[in-house]
Each structure stands twice: as structure tokens, then as C-alpha cells.
């Protein structure tokens, strides 16, 4: 009788230890809730004896309708190079998990010859308020951005809230996300025990995040908003912002200063602005064409960028033509007026499209403040200071400069001309 009670006690103790170990192993859970997104992600890993790699088991739950929107999870610190899992469901509640990657902040593309195999294991919930799917990424550690032994592993997520899909397909095009963020996970908390079979963990939303954090380390208790760093998209924005908010305006204003080398400074600044424009556009246009296709360049902010490139090319051509005629004829010609009004149009569209770019990239308030400050300076320069310089120039305008000959005389007249 005593032995039977001892055996039962040992069995209960063993079962308790097994349950504790199972709970500890499946303890990775990341939850995020704000005004747009309410989601939870559970993760655990297991050794894949067939491939020799590590399988990643995930349960992804999020608030929203089963007939619209999409949810994505990415392994990595940014879109470029990340392994992404897109949960797409159509209006009939058919769901697929599409495995994709991309070179940057562009439409993620399927790459079946490069990406691991992913399979949906179960649909746990598919109501009008909560979606929950369990899936596995087989031998997921074969992907460069995933390290199952990292204690502070970066992940990204993104949510599209309103897009509807007639048919859920693996290659369905998605619109830009409405919300996204970056988080970190201690992958060692989901490390497999020897001989264990991997299963997707159950979510417990009441517990919040376990072994995961929004702030750079699962043990961190505070932090700041996620910043992706100096990306190609930000380099693009910096170059175009400098071109249309600094270099082009400065090049236009310097002609009215009476500075002896005003013409040379004007040319140098315009060439610098043009180079910044072409360089900044190339940084983003080439990846867009490679990843998203030409049609993306015909929408919104990118479309105005294409228009600006055309206007810059026109400005260079008519600027050279105007100068050649002015030196030769010492008067304004049709290219003069085209160059002038095209420049004004260029500055207006460039300034506005810079704002569109900041909004499109969802940049922080600091970027908007910088744009607003520079736009205000531009307005003061062109509405107050430049007209005053022109008025003063008219008072002291030299209608001829007979003591100066040739191209130098043309330069002088060009910078002193009151209507420049």
C-alpha cells in the first residue's frame, strides 16, 4: 500500500516536471496592442532530423475580419533580406501563407528556390473579430537572417487592414501596410529538448509577452520607437530633400545677390542639385523596377518623382540654351523664359513631393519639422527677399558694359538682368 502511494507520488511529480518543461519551452510569446493592431505570436523550435536543420513552429493570432486585410511576420531587422510569412485570406475565408522576401522596402516576392518550405498546420480561429493560424517553417535556420540560438533575435511584423482579395493566392499583390513594427525574441527560451517533437504553442493573451520585447532585448523594460536606421530609402529622401529644399533654391537665389561669381555659383549649385536628384532617384527607382515593376512608378509619390526627373533634364537643357543665347545676343530669348518658369515649377513640385515622401515613409515628427522649416525659409526667400533684391538691382542696373567684352560681359549682364 505504501509502495503504491509512493509510485503515484513519483508519477505525479514526473508529470508535473514534464508539464513545467513543456510550458517553459513554449514560453516565447510576443503580444502587441495599440489603436490599430491587436496581435499575439507564439514560437517554439524543434530539431528536424531529416534535414538536420531547425523547424520554427508559430501560432499567429490577430484582431480583424477573416474576409479582408493581411498580416505578415518577418525574420530579420528590416524588410531587406527578411524571410516573410504573409497570411492572406479571401472573402470566402480561404487562407494561404505566402513565403516571400525582398531587397528593400518593396513588394515582397516569392522565391521558392531560395526560401524554406512553410505549411499551415491548423486554423484555430477565423471569426469576424479574431484570426489565429498555426504554421511551421521547416529547416528555417537555413535562411541567413534566422539564428535559433540568438538571445535577442530581431523580427518584424506588418498589418494591412482593409485590402480585400477575391482569391487568396500565394502570389497575390499586397498594398502598403497600414502599420508595422520591430520586436526582439530570446530564441533560447524556445529551444527544443532532446527527442521532443515540435508543435505550435497555444496562445495565452492574458500573459502578454514572454521572452519577447518591443525594445531591443526581451529583458528590456523601456525603450523608444523602432528606427530602421539609415536605409537606402532614407538616403534617397536625404538626397532629394537637399536637392529641392537646399541646392535648387540656393542656386536660384544666388543669381540675385550681385556676387561677382554669382553665375559660376548658380551653375555649380544647379549641377550639385541635379546630381543629387539623379542619384537619389536611382537609389530607389532601380529596386522598384526590379521588385515591383514599372507600374509602381506611375502612382502617387513615385509618379511625381518621375515628373521631377523629366523637369530637371528640361531645366539643364534650356539653361544651357538660354546662357548660350544670352552671351551671344545679350538679351533674353524664348529658352530664357522656359528655363525660368520650368525652374519655378520644379521648385514647387519638388517641395510638395518631398512632403509626400516624408508622409509616405511614415517618418517621425523631426523630419516634418525640418521640411516645414526649410519650406518657410523658401517662402521668405522667394516672396520677400528675392523681390527686394530685384528691386534694388533695377535701381543700379547697368544697361550696357562696353568696357567688358565676350563671355564675361554676357555673364555680368545675365546676373544683373532685373527679370532673372
pLDDT in tens, 97-151: 999 998 877 789 898 888 999 999 999 888 888 999 999 999 999 998 899 999 8
- 275 grid coordinates: 546630381
- In this prediction, residues 237-258 reach a mean pLDDT of 90
Segment of 213-222, 281-290, 323-332 carrying the highest mean pLDDT: 323-332
% of the chain exceeding 70 in pLDDT: 80
pLDDT of residue 322: 86
pLDDT higher than 90, residue 401: no
Rounded to 5°, angle at Cα 268 from 262 and 272: 140
- In this prediction, residues 10-18 reach a mean pLDDT of 41
24-38, 236-250, 316-330: range with lowest mean pLDDT? 24-38
* pLDDT confidence tier of residue 358, bands split at 50, 70 and 90: confident
- In this prediction, residues 396-412 reach a mean pLDDT of 47
162, burial (CB in 10 Å: exposed 0-12, middle 13-18, buried 19+): exposed
pLDDT higher than 60, residue 23: no
pLDDT higher than 90, residue 26: no
pLDDT higher than 50, residue 301: yes
pLDDT higher than 60, residue 320: yes
- In this prediction, residues 208-214 reach a mean pLDDT of 89
- 26 grid coordinates: 513554449
How confident is the model over 254-287, as pLDDT tens digits?
888 877 888 889 989 999 999 999 998 888 777 7
Instruction: Work out the mean pLDDT of the chain and round it to a whole number.
Output: 81
pLDDT of residue 117: 93
* pLDDT confidence tier of residue 347, bands split at 50, 70 and 90: very high
pLDDT higher than 50, residue 161: yes
pLDDT higher than 50, residue 413: no
pLDDT of residue 293: 59
pLDDT higher than 60, residue 25: no
- 165 grid coordinates: 482579395
Q: How far apart are CA 154 and CA 185, in angstroms?
A: 7
* pLDDT confidence tier of residue 295, bands split at 50, 70 and 90: low
- In this prediction, residues 360-378 reach a mean pLDDT of 88
Q: How far apart are CA 379 and CA 392, in angstroms?
A: 19
* pLDDT confidence tier of residue 58, bands split at 50, 70 and 90: very high
* Residue position matching grid coordinates 538616403: 235
pLDDT of residue 364: 80
Q: How far apart are CA 365 and CA 374, in angstroms?
A: 14
Q: What is the pTM of this model?
A: 0.58
How confident is the model over 163-189, as pLDDT tens digits?
999 999 999 999 888 888 889 999 988
Contact between 96 and 170 (Cβ < 8 Å) = yes
Q: Which of 68, 77, 22 is nearest to 190 (CA)?
A: 22
Amino acid at each position: 500500500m505504501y509502495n503504491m502511494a509512493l509510485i503515484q507520488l513519483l508519477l505525479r511529480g514526473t508529470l508535473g516536471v514534464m508539464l513545467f518543461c513543456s510550458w517553459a519551452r513554449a514560453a516565447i510569446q510576443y503580444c502587441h496592442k495599440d489603436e490599430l493592431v491587436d496581435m499575439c505570436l507564439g514560437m517554439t523550435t524543434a530539431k528536424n532530423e531529416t534535414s538536420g536543420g531547425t523547424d520554427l513552429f508559430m501560432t499567429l493570432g490577430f484582431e480583424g475580419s477573416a474576409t479582408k486585410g493581411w498580416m505578415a511576420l518577418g525574420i530579420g531587422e528590416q524588410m531587406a533580406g527578411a524571410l516573410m510569412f504573409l497570411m492572406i485570406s479571401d472573402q470566402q475565408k480561404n487562407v494561404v501563407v505566402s513565403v516571400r522576401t525582398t531587397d528593400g522596402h518593396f513588394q515582397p516576392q516569392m522565391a521558392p528556390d531560395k526560401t524554406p518550405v512553410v505549411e499551415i498546420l491548423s486554423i484555430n480561429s477565423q471569426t469576424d473579430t479574431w484570426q489565429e493560424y498555426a504554421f511551421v517553417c521547416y529547416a528555417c535556420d537555413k535562411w541567413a537572417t534566422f539564428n535559433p540560438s540568438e538571445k535577442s533575435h530581431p523580427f518584424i511584423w506588418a498589418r494591412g487592414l482593409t485590402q480585400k482579395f477575391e482569391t487568396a493566392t500565394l502570389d497575390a499583390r499586397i498594398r502598403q501596410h497600414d502599420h508595422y513594427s520591430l520586436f526582439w525574441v530570446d530564441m533560447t527560451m524556445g529551444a527544443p529538448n532532446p527527442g521532443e517533437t515540435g508543435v505550435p504553442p497555444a496562445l495565452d493573451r492574458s500573459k502578454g509577452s514572454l521572452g519577447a520585447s518591443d525594445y531591443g532585448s526581451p529583458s528590456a523594460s523601456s525603450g523608444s520607437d523602432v528606427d530602421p536606421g539609415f536605409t537606402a530609402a532614407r538616403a534617397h529622401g536625404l538626397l532629394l530633400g537637399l536637392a529641392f529644399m537646399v541646392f535648387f533654391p540656393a542656386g536660384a537665389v544666388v543669381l540675385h545677390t550681385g556676387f561677382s561669381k554669382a553665375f559660376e555659383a548658380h551653375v555649380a549649385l544647379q549641377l550639385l542639385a541635379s546630381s543629387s536628384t539623379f542619384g537619389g532617384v536611382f537609389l530607389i527607382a532601380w529596386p522598384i523596377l526590379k521588385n515591383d515593376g514599372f507600374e509602381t512608378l506611375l502612382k502617387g509619390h513615385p509618379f511625381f518623382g518621375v515628373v521631377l526627373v523629366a523637369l530637371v533634364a528640361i531645366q539643364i537643357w534650356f539653361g544651357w540654351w538660354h546662357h548660350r543665347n544670352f552671351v551671344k545676343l545679350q538679351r533674353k530669348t524664348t529658352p530664357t523664359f522656359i528655363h525660368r518658369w520650368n525652374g519655378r515649377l520644379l521648385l514647387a513640385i519638388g517641395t510638395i513631393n518631398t512632403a509626400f515622401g516624408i508622409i509616405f515613409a511614415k517618418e517621425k515628427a523631426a523630419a516634418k519639422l525640418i521640411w516645414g522649416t526649410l519650406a518657410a525659409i523658401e517662402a521668405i526667400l522667394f516672396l520677400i527677399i528675392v523681390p527686394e533684391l530685384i528691386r534694388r538691382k533695377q535701381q543700379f542696373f547697368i544697361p550696357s558694359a562696353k568696357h567688358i567684352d565676350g563671355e564675361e560681359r554676357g555673364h555680368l549682364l545675365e546676373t544683373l538682368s532685373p527679370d532673372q
